[in-house]
């Protein structure tokens, strides 16, 4: 994919920016001796020196090590208290270790974790999900990745269609099927994918978001089982649907007998029922991972009556044996207890009220800081999720959003913020407000951003 350097670096003094980055790296090294020692130790036996290779994607000279995380704060091993706007990239969207989830885990801690059987929590979680999202039938997974993998499998089985459709620049976890991009308008398998041996183009179509004729053309063959989509793209920077897009897209999808799966893993930031519920979109299936158990590993997927009936029939018609859906620890007692607490006591309308209002103030504050430094950047908000992007107007497609990504500039900004006591997500410029984030936390972020931008502009 091409990157549009003059646009995304417009208004910056790149020489100053590079000097700033060098200085900030030195500050980080001086500030974090205990993290440095632990990183050196971890380098002896952990591949890439971290538990998961992505953890290298933070723009820090070596991995920051955490002592503990509570509410909106992460305490690192060198004793710095960092205000956390990353919140585990949504896993801790409702704050770290929310009290009701912690209490539920403590209650369950001496009562067993996994039996391959239901507890009282199972039925309760089913009705909480059904009430919240308006879909009647639910199943579970250990991650949003797996929830996506399973719903796609159910839908392929239920419809007898093999193909799925995704939007260019999407991310739905590491479900293989979706790693297909448009390059100069042509679909290609994502080159970064490791160990992929099947040709993903055979069963995955990819079109630009917000482009109805492309969607219509891709579904016209009547062979696409489902569209797997985030209602707002969030993983290539945010791309909002244009007014009326989803109404028209749903009509096209249904006209071709295709089903719509909404992955609300990130857009649950919108409100208690996610983006779809708030905007009158009626998906046939919905996926939610990350924060649904307060950060405890688990995920859920829901289905309409009609889809559930077809899924049940597919299972009944299949020969006995492995379905390809599920893992041993799925629906375990600990996860069910965590979800029950999170859904009933943490992800509440009152929590959202605070998050949305403060996110609005954060978005306004960032706009003011950007304007003070005369940068041609924009700010997008989806409920509790706020992002600034290196372009004057919000991108309309994945290709447009991709063109203005700038890893070096992002790292520089993120590191500058981190050294000033503020953490934002290492991927693009995303920030989340949790129920415990305060006005003064937002003030700290805005002040730090102001300092960073002052250091990299003329």
Q: What are residue 262's DSSP bridge partners?
A: 229, 286
Q: Does 385 bind ligand PLP (CB under 6 A)?
A: no
Question: How buried is residue 7: exposed, middle or buried, by Cβ count under 10 Å (0-12/13-18/19+)?
Answer: middle
Q: Does 96 bind ligand PLP (CB under 6 A)?
A: no
Tokens (6 digits) for 238: 């945010």
- 339, 298 contact by CB (below 8 A): yes
For ligand PLP, the closer of residues 163 and 385 by Cβ is 385
Q: Does 389 bind ligand PLP (CB under 6 A)?
A: no
For ligand PLP, the closer of residues 431 and 446 by Cβ is 431
Q: Does 173 bind ligand PLP (CB under 6 A)?
A: yes
- φ, ψ (nearest 5 deg) of residue 158: -70, -35
For ligand PLP, the closer of residues 298 and 378 by Cβ is 298
Question: How buried is residue 326: exposed, middle or buried, by Cβ count under 10 Å (0-12/13-18/19+)?
Answer: middle
User: Which of residues 24, 177, 208, 230 is near ligand PLP by CB under 6 A?
Assistant: 230
Residue keyed to tokens 């029922």: 273
In the complex, what is the shortest distance from the CB of residue 45 to ligand PLP, in angstroms, rounded to a whole number? Answer: 24
For ligand PLP, the closer of residues 297 and 447 by Cβ is 297
Residues 268-307 that bind ligand PLP (CB under 6 A): 289-290
Nearest to 274 by CA among 229, 231, 308: 231
Question: How buried is residue 40: exposed, middle or buried, by Cβ count under 10 Å (0-12/13-18/19+)?
Answer: exposed
- 378, 389 contact by CB (below 8 A): yes
For ligand PLP, the closer of residues 145 and 304 by Cβ is 145
Contact window for ligand PLP (CB under 6 A) among 210-218, 259-267, 300-308, 447-455:
259-267
Q: Which residue is nearest to ligand PLP (CB)?
A: 173
Binding mask 76-95 for ligand PLP (x = CB under 6 A): -------------x------
Residues 312-351 that bind ligand PLP (CB under 6 A): none
User: Which of residues 159, 168, 265, 437 is near ligand PLP by CB under 6 A?
Assistant: 265
Q: Indicate the Cα dihedral angle 125, 127, 132, 134, nearest 10°.
A: 130
Contact window for ligand PLP (CB under 6 A) among 116-124, 143-151, 154-162, 200-208:
143-151
In the complex, what is the shortest distance from the CB of residue 429 to ligand PLP, in angstroms, rounded to a whole number? Answer: 15
Q: Does 263 bind ligand PLP (CB under 6 A)?
A: yes
Nearest to 402 by CA among 89, 168, 240: 168
Tokens (6 digits) for 186: 């042509």
Cα–Cα distances (Å) from 68 to 153, 208, 211, 279, 435, in that order, read: 38, 41, 44, 37, 18
For ligand PLP, the closer of residues 35 and 235 by Cβ is 235
In the complex, what is the shortest distance from the CB of residue 81 to ligand PLP, in angstroms, rounded to a whole number? Answer: 26
- Separation of alpha carbons 253 and 297, rounded Å: 32
Contact window for ligand PLP (CB under 6 A) among 142-150, 192-200, 215-223, 322-330:
142-150
- φ, ψ (nearest 5 deg) of residue 227: -95, 120
Q: Does 383 bind ligand PLP (CB under 6 A)?
A: no
Q: Provide the terminal-to-terminal Cα distance of the chain, rounded to the nearest Å.
A: 29
CA Rg value for the chain: 22
For ligand PLP, the closer of residues 178 and 370 by Cβ is 178
Q: Does 144 bind ligand PLP (CB under 6 A)?
A: yes
Nearest to 26 by CA among 15, 36, 41: 36
Q: Does 401 bind ligand PLP (CB under 6 A)?
A: no
User: Which of residues 168, 235, 389, 419 is near ligand PLP by CB under 6 A?
Assistant: 235
Please, which residues have CB within 8 angstroms of residue 128's CB and are 6 or more apart in sequence? Answer: 339, 340, 343, 344
Q: Does 73 bind ligand PLP (CB under 6 A)?
A: no
Q: In what order do the strands lie in the sheet with 378-382?
A: 378-382, 385-389, 430-432
Q: Does 149 bind ligand PLP (CB under 6 A)?
A: no
In the complex, what is the shortest distance from the CB of residue 150 to ligand PLP, in angstroms, rounded to a whole number? Answer: 12
Q: Does 171 bind ligand PLP (CB under 6 A)?
A: yes
Query: Which positions touch ligand PLP (CB under 6 A)?
Result: 89, 143-145, 148, 171-173, 230, 235, 263, 265-266, 289-290
């Amino acid at each position: 994919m091409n990157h549009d350097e003059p646009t995304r670096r417009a208004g910056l003094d790149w020489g100053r920016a590079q000097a700033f980055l060098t200085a900030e790296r030195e500050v980080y090294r001086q500030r974090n001796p205990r993290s440095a020692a632990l990183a050196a130790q971890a380098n002896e036996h952990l591949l890439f020196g971290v538990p998961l290779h992505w953890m290298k994607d933070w723009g820090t000279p070596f991995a920051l090590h955490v002592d503990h995380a509570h509410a909106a704060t992460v305490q690192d091993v060198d004793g710095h208290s960092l205000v956390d706007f990353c919140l585990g990239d949504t896993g801790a969207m409702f704050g770290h270790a929310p009290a009701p989830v912690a209490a539920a885990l403590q209650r369950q801690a001496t009562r067993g974790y996994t039996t391959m059987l239901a507890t009282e929590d199972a039925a309760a979680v089913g009705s909480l999900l059904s009430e919240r999202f308006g879909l009647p039938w639910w199943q579970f997974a250990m991650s949003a990745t797996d929830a996506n993998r399973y719903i796609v499998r159910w839908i392929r089985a239920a419809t007898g269609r093999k193909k799925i459709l995704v939007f260019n620049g999407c991310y739905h976890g590491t479900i293989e099927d979706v790693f297909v991009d448009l390059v100069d308008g042509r679909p290609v398998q994502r080159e970064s994918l490791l160990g992929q041996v099947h040709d993903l183009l055979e069963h995955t179509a990819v079109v630009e978001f917000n482009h109805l004729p492309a969607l219509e053309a891709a579904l016209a063959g009547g062979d696409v089982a489902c569209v797997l989509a985030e209602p707002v793209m969030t993983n290539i920077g945010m791309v909002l649907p244009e007014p009326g897009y989803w109404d028209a897209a749903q009509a096209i999808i249904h006209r071709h007998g295709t089903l719509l799966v909404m992955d609300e893993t990130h857009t649950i930031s919108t409100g208690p029922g996610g983006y779809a519920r708030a905007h009158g979109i009626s998906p046939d299936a919905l996926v939610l991972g990350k924060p649904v158990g307060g950060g405890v590993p688990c995920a859920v997927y829901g289905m309409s009556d009609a889809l559930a009936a077809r899924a049940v029939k597919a299972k009944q018609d299949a020969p006995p044996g492995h379905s390809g859906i599920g893992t041993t620890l799925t629906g375990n007692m600990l996860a069910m207890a965590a979800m029950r607490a999170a859904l009933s006591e943490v992800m509440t309308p009152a929590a959202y009220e605070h998050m949305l209002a403060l996110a609005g103030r954060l978005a306004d504050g960032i706009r003011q800081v950007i304007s003070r430094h005369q940068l041609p950047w924009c700010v997008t908000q989806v409920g509790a999720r706020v992002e600034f992007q290196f372009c004057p107007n919000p991108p309309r497609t994945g290709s447009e959003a991709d063109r203005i990504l700038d890893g070096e500039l992002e790292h520089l900004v993120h590191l500058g913020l981190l050294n000033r006591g503020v953490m934002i997500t290492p991927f693009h410029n995303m920030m989340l407000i949790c129920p415990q984030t305060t006005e003064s936390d937002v003030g700290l972020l805005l002040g730090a951003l102001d300092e960073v931008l002052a250091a990299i502009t003329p």
